[in-house]
Amino acid sequence: MKTKSEYYDLIRTPIVTEKATMASESNAVVFEVAMNSNKVVIKEAVEFLFGVKVKSVNTLITKGKVKRFRGQLGKRKDTKKAYVTLEQGNTIDVSTGL
């Protein structure tokens, strides 16, 4: 069991996009998480911070795009997303802060 501040460092921010909103219809919430996290720790963190029961966690790593900034090539950072599916009857309101 980790401390509350370690869980806050693990779960960075909720992702609110069109695809994430469609996932919420099937009782799932999308979070940006730390790159070194795993599914078990993400499940513990969401259950501890939000007081809900988690059914499953799916993760994916999005590679950063190569972009130009003032004529110079740069690279955006890689990010890790977690699709957290909640048990029936549990909800998380991502429009309010933690």
Residue in 50, 51, 52, 62 with CA at minimum distance from that of residue 19: 62
The confidence score (pLDDT) of residue 83 equals 96
Does the pTM surpass 0.75? The reply is yes
Q: How does 2-22 read in b/e, with b if 16+ C-beta sit within 10 Å?
A: eeeeebeebbeebbeeeebee
- The tens-digit pLDDT sequence of the chain (98 residues) is 678 888 888 999 999 999 998 998 899 999 999 999 999 999 999 999 999 999 999 999 999 999 998 999 999 999 999 999 999 988 888 766 55
Tell me if 85 sits within 8 A of 54, measured CB to CB. Answer: yes
The confidence score (pLDDT) of residue 98 equals 53
What are the structural domains of the chain?
4-86 (3.30.70.330)
Beta pairing, strands 54-62 & 66-69: unpaired
The confidence score (pLDDT) of residue 3 equals 82
First-residue to last-residue Cα distance in the chain: 20
